[in-house]
Amino acid sequence: MQIAPSILSADFGNLTQAVRDAEQAGADRIHIDVMDGQFVPNLSFGPQIVEVLRRETDLPLEVHLMVEHPENWVKPFAAAGADMIMVHVESTPHIHRALSLIHETTAKAGVVINPGTPVSTISFLLPSVEQVLVMTVDPGFSGQHFIPDNLEKVDDLVTIRDRDDSLNYTIEVDGGVNVDRVHSVANRGADIYVAGSAVYNDEADVATNIKRLRDAE
């Protein structure tokens, strides 16, 4: 599986080092959680941070937009160097427009579903995305508890993709993935998992934490 460390759990005073550590430890991509204090009750990064991190790493940068009016933020994040931009279906009445805007840039497009949103909500969008992000916590914070029922959505997304050759989205799981949970995520056929607090914490260094996750897959 691919691992996408989320820098939301890293030291905000040294994000460039956090990204370098992840790259050296063999991370596959960097997950950047963007929050506006409206769609979720927290604030985090703007496009300037992506621009800074773009200069630090060749790893793909994926932006998880947790904002209202995500359409307004597609171009700034793409211009800053995002390789993938993911939009919550719950965050806009104009999800097709948001995905089309992403495809007007060089970035790939992803759609995100909250724990309370069924896969059926996005079935008409699946041909239009390169990635589906299944939230296994309610978004807003790192370090929350994994909600296991959401793994059924991974089963559904794998089955739908297997049935239709024209669909080629990757399936990513985000929230509460740690050494105790990662095996169940891998088992269900997800392609990528996000790990925030399991990678960036005071217990061990980033390389040790990533190795522990890989060993537990």
139 part of the interface to ligand 5SP, by CB under 6 A? yes
Consult the annotation and say whether 196 binds a ligand: yes
Consult the annotation and say whether 143 binds a ligand: yes
Consult the annotation and say whether 31 binds a ligand: yes
Residue 194 contacts by C-beta under 8 Å, 6 or more apart in sequence? 4, 5, 6, 31, 64, 172, 173, 174, 175, 177
Q: Which does 9 bind (CB under 5 to 8 A by kind): Co ion, ligand 5SP, none?
A: ligand 5SP
62 part of the interface to ligand 5SP, by CB under 6 A? no
Q: Which of 8, 10, 67, 122 binds ligand 5SP (CB under 6 A)?
A: 8
- 36 or 174: CB nearest Co ion: 174
Q: Compute the distance between CA of residue 92 and CA of residue 1 in angstroms, rounded to an integer.
A: 30
Q: Which of 176, 185, 190, 213 binds ligand 5SP (CB under 6 A)?
A: 176
Q: Which does 142 bind (CB under 5 to 8 A by kind): Co ion, ligand 5SP, none?
A: ligand 5SP
Among 88-96, 147-155, 172-180, 207-215, which window interacts with ligand 5SP (CB under 6 A)? 172-180
Active-site position among 174, 191, 202, 205: 174
The answer to whether residue 174 is catalytic is yes
- 2 or 100: CB nearest ligand 5SP: 2
Q: Count CA atoms within 13 Å of residue 130 on its CB side.
A: 13
Q: Compute the distance between CA of residue 184 and CA of residue 177 in angstroms, rounded to an integer.
A: 10
5 part of the interface to ligand 5SP, by CB under 6 A? no
Q: Compute the distance between CA of residue 187 and CA of residue 34 in angstroms, rounded to an integer.
A: 29
Rounded to a whole number of angstroms, the minimum distance from the CB of residue 184 to Co ion is 19
What is the total count of residues that contact ligand 5SP (CB under 6 A)?
A: 22
Consult the annotation and say whether 189 binds a ligand: no
- 109 or 198: CB nearest ligand 5SP: 198
The answer to whether residue 28 is catalytic is no
Query: What residues act catalytically?
Result: 33, 174
